[in-house]
Amino acid sequence: MRRLLGLRAGAIGVALAAAVSLAGCTRPDNTPEFYGEATEALFLSGCEGNYELSGTTIASRNTCGCMYGHIKDNIPASEKDKLERSVDGQKVFAGYTGKTFHEIDSELKNSPDRVSSTELFPQTVLDKFKTCPGYGGRSETGTGSTGTGSTVAPTVGPTAPGSAVPTSP
């Protein structure tokens, strides 16, 4: 059971890496200055594994939507977003010292295995991901797929040919 939960968490990590990389495609230089409908659609598409040649389902829309919400609310899209976003006259990211979505996207393109790294994501955001339905084996409610595709997280261990369950390393 523990190995299956690890597999599920690893698959969610792969989904997050794919989603962040695809969401950055909304501008020619892959830099979303602000979050918007296109960024959200691309993030969800990448997170779910719903893109050309994917051939798999990585995570459900509920899980991906929850994760996107935490990213959008807690990580500025760009330096411009970091400086300009405000609510009721208060700067949302005043004092924020972490990486922007653009910086995370750039680093994940080179090292997708760092998707759960506190060097990229603030620990508070990683902790919020754990509250998302379906993340790390949490039960899922609502509609959407349940991650039954053939993607296996690289940190789990080898998979026997024709099997979706990892074998002992």
Q: What is the mean pLDDT of residues 40-63?
A: 80
Asked which of 4-8, 83-87, 109-113 is least confident by mean pLDDT, the reply is 4-8
Residue 132 or 160, more confident:
132
96-114 per-residue burial string, b: 16 or more CB within 10 A, e: under 16: eebbbbbbbbbbbeeebeb
- The pLDDT-based confidence of 167 (bands split at 50, 70, 90) is very low
> In a 3-state reduction of DSSP, which class is residue 136?
helix
Sequence spans of domains, the chain: 2-136
In the prediction, which pLDDT does 135 show? 86
- The pLDDT-based confidence of 59 (bands split at 50, 70, 90) is confident
Q: Which 8-state DSSP code applies to residue 90?
A: E
- The pLDDT-based confidence of 143 (bands split at 50, 70, 90) is very low
Q: Is the pLDDT at 117 greater than 60, yes or no? A: yes
- The pLDDT-based confidence of 146 (bands split at 50, 70, 90) is very low
Taking residue 158's Cβ as centre, other Cβ atoms within 10 Å add up to 10
- The pLDDT-based confidence of 18 (bands split at 50, 70, 90) is low
What share of the chain has pLDDT > 90, as a percent? 35
State pTM to two decimals: 0.64
Average pLDDT, the chain: 72
Q: What is the mean pLDDT of residues 137-164?
A: 41
